Chains A and B, each alone.
Chain A
Amino acid sequence: MYNFLIDIFGSPVIAFFVAAALPLFLFILPYALIAVLAERKVSAHMQDRLGPMRTGYHGIFQTVADILKLIQKEDITANSIDRTLFNFAPYLVFIGSFAAFAVLPFSSFFVGSSIDIGLFYFLAISSLVVAGILMGGWSSNNKYSLLGAMRSVSQIISYEIPTAIVVLTMVMLTSTLNLDTITNQQTAYFWNWNILGGAATGIAKFLLIPLMFAAFIIIFISTLAEVNRTPFDIPEAESELVSGFFTEYTGMKFAMFFLAEYANMLAVSFLITVLFFGGYHSPFGYLGNSLGIEWLVPIEQGVWFATKGLTFVLVQMWLRWTLPRLRVDQLMTVCWKYLIPYSVAILLLVGFITLI
């Protein structure tokens, strides 16, 4: 992809910036447009309502209208805030969530950065989000913001552990940290996906399937908590904390936080897709291959990847409008007493199975 861009632009510097900005314009912004609307529509229909209906057919331009509104909004900065940190925090949060996209393989043509520590990088770079949240919460000089930030950070740090252990399990199974290699190990049909035991053969595959399902559920729950979505939205908890760490933010800075939240949702969904559901590989084979049109295959792969990722985003929304918010002690119980022991057990069992 990078070489292709160098060919087009003739300069590695321009190609570098274009390659870096491409996921933003190709995936995150259109996705955010769709996802915010989808969130409102899904929530509305789950509650037997209609949702936005008046901007365009069934309100499809509602997000566009909202963005236009947010751009026009006055940028309110209270007097007693810490101005430097307050202005920097939204960008840090967005950098953290956007940087995670750098290592994701979107299709065989568009792999991002195929580095051998991709998974590790993915987990590490999200700590910038943590710092950004803390920065925003503290600099707002508002008790609700600070409480929200504290809750958010403690939650993310706690839930990083089960995520990391499950990722470690997958690393043991695939014996690589490169997300592209992990994807390519699950090539061909859907029975090669890691959720169905991956490329293992014989009895090991059947032993792996239940473990992989459990690992998938654990990482889904823990990443859901990491992106601060309901039922783990105690950092935002509208009924208690106004809106958590971004209470004081207005206009485009608020939009940055909002975009970062949605980008995070997509990033963790893509991570789950790569780890368990074959990444960009089609479950059935490619139309481009059977028709003999070579350039169709990468596009198909991109579509498959986006479809799988968006499915998990939809499930996240579905859960959000199904479950009430957890209490803080319940949150910690779920993490420390349930997810971590189970994930450690899975880690040991998978290690044992991969050895034999």
Chain B
Amino acid sequence: MNQEHAARRLGKGAVPAPAAPLPAALAAYATGEPEPAYRLLAEREDGTVVRCGQVVAKAHAADSDPEELAVRMRIAADRALAGVLLPPLRPAAGLLRGRPVSLWPYGDPVDAERPEDAPWEAAAELLAALHRVPLAALPGPLPAMRGPAKLARALRRLARAGGPDRGPRPAAGSPAVPPAPGGGGVSGLGPQVVWDAARTLPAWARGEVPAPGGGVLCHGDLHLGQLVRGSAAGGGWRLIDVDDLGVGAPAWDLARPAAWYAAGVLGGGAWGRFLGAYRTAGGPAAGPAGCDPWPALDVAARALTVQTAALALAKAAENRRRLDDVERLMVESCARIATLPPHLEGPRPA
């Protein structure tokens, strides 16, 4: 299929030279000009994002499910999510070089140089609002939240990156990993502790089987890069990036901050503000204020710890560098998780 023809058919006139790199082609698609100035905001295997003035264009992963993406974009545009999700400039994705492309208004991100100023309360309130949206009124069919699929992908990347340990060890007879002595170094801080920690999770959390039924609308990939604000967003913070949006366990959206906190990466003050604001706003994922949130958060927080550590080790191996301090804390968390008993699956339906 001729992608440039598809791009033109979907409403933009400019056709960049076929040899132009994807970001330049994306900028031309976004503006309708042949060679506009643009700024590359992200270029990863799961998405390329450019900014041209007040427009942001995203080329989604080549293997995105087009029907699921279409529903996710309709949800972002739905009035029920106004004030929570940033709405797209156009309700449907186009196509460029075989990849779905969506257009969004530009919003100012959280200042990555000043993480101490991060809007933890706003993030928590947006998540609580997202988790409280009645599903029946939303466009459908509602896709599943892709958090567990992202964990599976992180583990595949770890397996590809290799190293001395090359994948999940058979469940039987695995030796326990010693806990971190006094929070210091752990011997054998490598891929094996991540595989051992992954084995403590239920299969659904590793994306190996469908998640249990039920759930609420979840973002699926919350981190501080997923918040923007600006005139287009009415001045308040909004959540962006709907690629993993769907129905699932709301604890997943709290699990990254929970995993950072449990590893000693995030201070108790920031975590307390985030959790407190979420509960005050009526979020359902962590029980009422005053009760222990960890029974509700534990599986998802372990899952995000495994995912973060797997990606850290994979990136370090791919770039032939050592783990930085924070990455090492996440792998140390895996070493402690690995001392828990492996998850025992309940009886399977016949």
Whether chains A and B associate is: no
Chain B residues proximal to chain A, CB less than 8 Å: none
